[in-house]
Structure 1
């Protein structure tokens, strides 16, 4: 049966564009350009998803949400919102909205959110007997935030291309860049999305227990094996196994892993019977595995088995246009988790976020914002709530490495050398772009 979607927005051209996009994806779509029209459709029709702007000329998303919940409780609501409406979006999620997407809207992000929304509805309809065994540890669904930078567009393109295939994927990137988020997104857009996603921290598995962890064991097979154990491979059967920091596996364990991947069979420790497994493998590493192969620390055949398709997770400081998108997303998460109503960031914090190097990438930003939300005593996050090392790092970078008398000349020369590309000029001067913009203003350098 075709899923029905109601799109509510006073921007007529946007509504028509989104309707056309979603219809091509197989949905039945109805447009409403104001709350009055929407009310009639909701009262007289049945929709699986209502997608509404949080600001309407004759109402708002909260009233739409309330009407939907009273009229059709099984219908899911997704809000579309600008940065300034973050508090309203958070409050609406507390009142029962499934999620929100930020403006400007990316059609693929909307599609992904709708798919997750419908998946949640389908899971609620499953009988209790169909739920997963509690003995199998399966990672929960993780939100994948779509940015607008070139790096994000390329990342999203690669995810969309490889997700429907059965290819093994190797995700490379620094610690904290969201490699598991990317793996989750690949799984959720794949043909295995209704099957388990099992995440394994390879660095946390002791060498002597690796066989048991990956392939399971039977009771009494070794000292301490007091019960049968389901291994990660069997737990992921039909779905996806995510091998996080796969470079940490010992050479002996790599041999066992390669054999399991090649034969698509596993044998629990102490058992004489092999178990067939059908799994997709996604691996991640913050190491240079190709260099590890050259050193002899990582098996070349396993490397090629895992690396049918590779994706580079960009560092946060390479995604300037995405920084406040992520910041607002983590703010909404923290508000929900801590039951707070922090509405945003003051101007100084936003400037610091854009100039800070973020060595811990997305993980550092998430933790920083969550801590700040917990400490906040006003509606906005201010500088005094941020860790001291962030403030100190920023102060150190705000000083150019040459004398002030030569500063203006050096800036002009750097701009000329880079054909007036501000980003390249800032790198040449060893300062961040925000500092360069301030210096251009200080010296009245017009470009």
Structure 2
């Protein structure tokens, strides 16, 4: 079994990499600083080092030099949160095998590690190439016998909005149309792109994704089209670009509006001619790639502002799909949450059965402005904190439980008042706070007279209106045709 040394000053990253790599049958040791990592290296030399670029006591570049002084052939992979060409060039110049950028994707890390180890063993000639993107986003981990086998791949809900979305996917997938996918950040645009690919005639070929918002303009051209050795300072090897990697398959460009004007010009030429030249190269390479792009901004509007080429927009705009926000798919929330919990159970080696009733209530009423990505982060965090067989309200972030008091305050003063009003008393748990927040606003018994029934009806109307406007009290007052002061008085009166 191969040994990997992980060096990162982030405890959570160390923990997750340790568990993930052990599931892939590697022997893993971890260090929380560069000094500790070098000390461990002097005692036992691993087969590979995976280190963060920005450590508390030393940067990854300096650490790399120290490693290479004594172990020239030891492959080192750098984790960096910087999409800066200088970082990439420097670490490659100093002898790094490759680099991976944050956010981390399991398949990308695993592919890079395998290539690095194979280059040392002499089993592959790919070791000298720069990184290539992930072809799939999930790694089905080994499932313990006591747990049910987890479903992998993309899931879609059963709400009407999800059914409409699947109908559109089913309509365009068998064609070779270019597709523009619109949707809020975190709504699942890449999942839609993958589903289009999986249901197309190209499903047996590569699906290559590129986040245009996470790559600098200097690197974007190289990532898309590749480059030849020596074509620019730091180009010490030939690089195959995303278009070539996706040949015969699908190329997904997320947040395409972030590409620089120069790259858009080159991209238009490739889309029109279906041929490309690597940077610094002379040979034309024919490509057969289906292009799917995504944006949270309307591309035509961006074109009118001069941010995006209008002719490129018309090239892409053969079919449009809009991914609905999670708050408009409320019937799907728990299906997504349970699917995510299955994955986190594998990741953290836990066996959490599900969600407490109060958690379900919070999930269904929270507006999820971060959409599916936010839901996934909440589930992962809650599972990490959970010490029982069910996720409780105490495991949720305080802001999530109290969102209607905090997240939708109409002013800074109101925000501070909400914080103070909902701050936990000494010894009061989040669960007790939640119990107060969701307690009935009226008696469950039948009203005794017409006046009491009218009060209950008014309270219900106020609650329903507040939910419909995401607890924006100014909007609620306008909808109810009363002033804000009156609304506040009624909220207080009915103890909403």
Q: TM class by shorter-chain length?
A: 0.5 to 0.7
Match of 1:139 among 128, 135, 141: 135
Q: 1:309 to 1:407 in 2, by over 3 A?
A: farther
Following TM superposition, by how much is the alpha carbon of 1:137 offset from its aligned partner in structure 2, in angstroms? 2.7
Computing the radius of gyration from Cα coordinates, the structure with the larger value is: 2
| Bigger mean CA deviation after superposition, 202-211 or 301-310 | 202-211
Q: 1:180 to 1:170 in 2, by over 3 A?
A: same
Query: What does residue range 6-25 of structure 1 map to in structure 2 within 5 Å?
Result: none
Whole-angstrom distance in 2 between the partners of 1:270 and 1:287: 33
- Measured against aligned partners, the alpha-carbon deviations of 1:244-276 in whole angstroms (never above 9, x if no partner) come to 100111112111111110100010111110000
Following TM superposition, by how much is the alpha carbon of 1:397 offset from its aligned partner in structure 2, in angstroms? 8.1
Correspondence for 2:417 = none
Following TM superposition, by how much is the alpha carbon of 1:205 offset from its aligned partner in structure 2, in angstroms? 2.2
Match of 1:196 among 200, 206, 217: 206
Whole-angstrom distance in 2 between the partners of 1:327 and 1:430: 26
Following TM superposition, by how much is the alpha carbon of 1:288 offset from its aligned partner in structure 2, in angstroms? 2.2
SS across alignment from 2:344:
helix
Correspondence for 2:234 = 224
Whole-angstrom distance in 2 between the partners of 1:220 and 1:388: 53
Correspondence for 1:375 = 385
Correspondence for 1:156 = 166
Query: What does residue range 426-437 of structure 1 map to in structure 2 within 5 Å?
Result: 426-427=468-469
Correspondence for 1:208 = 218
Q: 1:184 to 1:411 in 2, by over 3 A?
A: same
Correspondence for 1:385 = 395
- Measured against aligned partners, the alpha-carbon deviations of 1:266-320 in whole angstroms (never above 9, x if no partner) come to 1011111000000000101111222111112111111111121111111111101
Gaps of 5+ in 2: 1-123, 139-152, 415-441, 443-451, 476-489
- Contact (CA 8 Å) 2:203, 2:249: kept in 1 or not? yes
Following TM superposition, by how much is the alpha carbon of 1:398 offset from its aligned partner in structure 2, in angstroms? 10
- Contact (CA 8 Å) 1:352, 1:394: kept in 2 or not? no
Q: 1:297 to 1:333 in 2, by over 3 A?
A: same
Whole-angstrom distance in 1 between the partners of 2:261 and 2:192: 26
Is the counterpart of residue 363 in structure 1 residue 373 in structure 2? yes
Q: 1:425 to 1:368 in 2, by over 3 A?
A: closer
Following TM superposition, by how much is the alpha carbon of 1:222 offset from its aligned partner in structure 2, in angstroms? 1.3
SS across alignment from 1:175:
coil
Following TM superposition, by how much is the alpha carbon of 1:186 offset from its aligned partner in structure 2, in angstroms? 0.8
SS across alignment from 2:402:
helix
Q: 1:239 to 1:398 in 2, by over 3 A?
A: closer
- Contact (CA 8 Å) 1:200, 1:244: kept in 2 or not? yes
Following TM superposition, by how much is the alpha carbon of 1:232 offset from its aligned partner in structure 2, in angstroms? 0.8
More contact order relative to length (CA 8 Å, sep ≥ 6): 1
SS across alignment from 1:256:
helix
TM-score norm. by structure 1 comes to: 0.61
Q: 1:319 to 1:270 in 2, by over 3 A?
A: same
How many residue pairs get matched? Answer: 298
TM-score norm. by structure 2 comes to: 0.55
- Contact (CA 8 Å) 1:414, 1:428: kept in 2 or not? no
Runs of 4+ in 1 over 2 A off after TM superposition: 131-139, 208-211, 394-399, 404-415, 422-432
Gaps of 5+ in 1: 1-130, 416-421, 433-438
Following TM superposition, by how much is the alpha carbon of 1:208 offset from its aligned partner in structure 2, in angstroms? 2.3
Correspondence for 2:42 = none
Q: CA RMSD in A?
A: 3.3
